[in-house]
Amino acid sequence: MLQFNKFESGKVKAVKIGLLGFGTVGGGTLTVLQRNMEEISRRAGREIKVVAIAVNDLGKKRDIDTGGIELTDRMLDIVNNPDIQVIVELIGGGDDVFNAVMQSLEKGKHVVTANKALIASHGNAIFRKASEKGLMVGFESAVAGGIPIIKLIREGLSANQIEWFVGIINGTCNYILSQMADRQREFDDVLEEAQELGYAEADPSFDVGGVDAAHKLTILASIAFGVPLRFESVYIQGIEHIQKIDIEYADELGFRMKHLGISRRTGDGLELRVHPALIPKQNLIASVSGVMNAVLIQADAVGQSMFYGPGAGSEPTASAVVADLIDVVRAFTTDPQNRVPHLAFQADSLIDLPVLDIGLIETSYYLRMQAVNRPGVLAAISSIFGENEISIDSILQKGHGQPDELVTVILMTQNTREKNLMKAVEKVEALDSVEGKIVWIRVERLP
Ligand code: NDP
Ligand code: HSE
């Protein structure tokens, strides 16, 4: 208490913060800062005070008390305010926001942001500018919401060579897939709810289309492997095409459907991919449900570890934003050369590893097709897989069907290169005895 009185009595000046954005995350950030002001000041060594907030619509009714704080719809007024020392960007997307962040750094202000699109697409330029100016850019909240995964990899695992990581890193997708599996709900209905709960991006196609997870994977891969941010190289597949029937069949076969971000260092290059996948139910990550996120990491010294927590939402994300703010305030007076590097590795030590083409990845597959119930059809399908060097793990016909009727066939493969699978799918689809397109989904057995 004595320590806190020190901040109140004004002996140590409060650090002045400008918030850009006051929506789900911005609102949570002010709430947490106000509610936990005393503890936060004791941790940071200074009081952290929001003095100005930029919003889009000044006329909007707000539930959070902003007494004593200047509200403006001109974010550059905050960026240009010489009294403000740290800019917290919680708007999202856009060139305007990139310009505001660069201008903030130019003006000598530290930056904290939750904007993964910004960091994944412009992080290389932002960190270069910040380093030139001796400033910090905190982006903990940009990946996996409230889980302090950036700090964990960047600092806690810094002794290790990371071999691979797999993450459930989009809360909205995980919420939708969990509700479809556990409550038999419809995709659109659950997406609407995720938007109401503040989990989804302003444009929810970024969530369900996999782009948001790709932004996060880009950031995680960079700090895990010491490579520059390479968003344009990520293979991206969303969950829009996932059907309830495949979630149900997967369940019968002992798997859960998840949307994953996967990165692995191989002899031929780096895997960078986000897509839906089936995971065996007994794997810990398969039980991560709802808006929760988890990142499973294989590293040479520590072995396998998994980090779990809320992946989206107002206060969980604010928890990470405020932690970054505290770090920035603590580091105000430290030598910029001796701070933790933004991307975990020293900027001149980043190595641009080649990214593996998706056709070269190796995994196993679940396939569902409609085939004619006739002797020899399954044998013909099996032989195409064999010709393409794919071993079949199991083949299952759903129901009995009358002769010459269409029946559903489910096929599980062993590990194979994706380009082999694609060739086999094309040939099987061309058989007269197979109707329509084959549904295929990757299966990640996770060692
Ligand atoms: P919201 O849509 O809830 O909030 C956006 C805020 O930005 C609003 O206050 C809006 O103003 C304001 N804004 C929009 N345009 C402007 C502008 N031109 N000038 C000033 N203010 C503007 O978004 P979120 O809080 O959900 O997300 C913010 C960021 O955090 C995004 O980058 C997102 O990806 C990231 N993020 C979000 C998480 C979540 O769970 N929601 C989790 C982790 C990261 P107004 O209030 O007037 O409309
Ligand atoms: N839309 C994002 C998600 C917010 O659902 O995961 C958290 O980054």
- Give the model confidence (pLDDT) of 97-107 as tens digits: 999 999 999 99
Per-residue pLDDT band for 270 (boundaries 50, 70, 90) equals very high
Alpha-carbon 70 to chain mean position: 33
Q: Report the atom number in ligand 2 closest to the C-alpha of 116.
A: 8
- Summarised one tens digit per residue, pLDDT across range 75-105 is 999 999 999 999 999 999 889 999 999 999 9
Asked if the model's pLDDT at residue 333 lies above 90, the reply is no
Asked if the model's pLDDT at residue 33 lies above 70, the reply is yes
* Nearest-angstrom CA–CA distance, 349 and 339: 15
Q: Is 120 in the pocket of ligand 2 (CB under 6 A)?
A: no
**Amino acid residing at 264:** R
**What average pLDDT does the segment 328-356 reach?**
94
**Amino acid residing at 423:** K
Q: For position 4, what pLDDT does the model report? A: 47
Q: Report the atom number in ligand 2 closest to the C-alpha of 170.
A: 6
**What average pLDDT does the segment 12-33 reach?**
96
**What average pLDDT does the segment 112-127 reach?**
98
Q: How far is the CA of 185 from the centre of ligand 2 (A)?
A: 20
Q: Is 78 in the pocket of ligand 2 (CB under 6 A)?
A: no
Residue 287 tokens, joined: 């039980």
| 42, 4 Cβ separation under 8 angstroms | yes
Q: For position 272, what pLDDT does the model report? A: 98
Phi-psi category of residue 369: left, alpha or beta, with phi > 0 → left and psi -120 to 50 → alpha: beta
* Nearest-angstrom CA–CA distance, 396 and 14: 67
Residue 287 per-residue DSSP state: G
Q: Is 207 in the pocket of ligand 2 (CB under 6 A)?
A: yes
Cα 120 to Cα 113, 124, 132, 159, 221: the distances in Å are 12, 8, 20, 25, 11
**Amino acid residing at 173:** C
Q: For position 6, what pLDDT does the model report? A: 55
Residue 400 tokens, joined: 């009995």
Q: For position 399, what pLDDT does the model report? A: 78
Cα 253–Cα 259–Cα 261 angle in degrees, nearest 5: 125
- Summarised one tens digit per residue, pLDDT across range 177-200 is 999 999 999 999 999 999 999 999
* Nearest-angstrom CA–CA distance, 220 and 234: 12
Asked if the model's pLDDT at residue 8 lies above 70, the reply is no
Q: Which residues contact 440 (CB under 8 A, 6 or more apart)?
A: 365, 366, 367, 368, 421, 425
CA atoms within 13 A on the CB side of 409: 26
Across all residues in the chain, what is the average pLDDT?
96
Q: Which residue has the higher pLDDT, 436 or 10?
A: 436
Q: Report the atom number in ligand 1 closest to the C-alpha of 96.
A: 18
- Summarised one tens digit per residue, pLDDT across range 396-406 is 998 777 889 99
In order, the DSSP letters of 296-340 are EEEETTTEEEEEEEE-SSHHHHHHHHHHHHHHHHHTTTS-GGGSP
Asked if the model's pLDDT at residue 438 lies above 90, the reply is yes
Q: Is 146 in the pocket of ligand 2 (CB under 6 A)?
A: no
Q: For position 2, what pLDDT does the model report? A: 41
- Helix then strand then coil, in percent of the chain rounded to 5, is 40, 25, 35
**What average pLDDT does the segment 253-278 reach?**
97
Residue 43 tokens, joined: 């941790």
Q: How far is the CA of 318 from the centre of ligand 1 (A)?
A: 12
Q: Is 88 in the pocket of ligand 1 (CB under 6 A)?
A: no
Mutational pocket test of ligand 1: of 60, 91, 137, the residue with most ligand atoms within 8 Å of the beta carbon: 91
pTM: 0.96
Query: Is position 216 annotated as part of the catalytic site?
Result: yes
Q: For position 447, what pLDDT does the model report? A: 81
Residue 108 tokens, joined: 């000598």
Q: Is 319 in the pocket of ligand 2 (CB under 6 A)?
A: no
Residue 124 tokens, joined: 């290389």
Mutational pocket test of ligand 2: of 91, 140, 201, 215, the residue with most ligand atoms within 8 Å of the beta carbon: 201
Q: For position 93, what pLDDT does the model report? A: 85
Cα 424–Cα 427–Cα 429 angle in degrees, nearest 5: 105
Catalytic residue among 216, 258, 423, 437: 216
Residue in this structure with the two tokens 């398969």, named with its chain if needed: 286
Q: How far is the CA of 26 from the centre of ligand 1 (A)?
A: 7
**What average pLDDT does the segment 295-322 reach?**
98
Q: Report the atom number in ligand 2 closest to the C-alpha of 194.
A: 5
- Summarised one tens digit per residue, pLDDT across range 55-81 is 999 999 999 999 999 999 999 999 999
Asked if the model's pLDDT at residue 279 lies above 80, the reply is yes
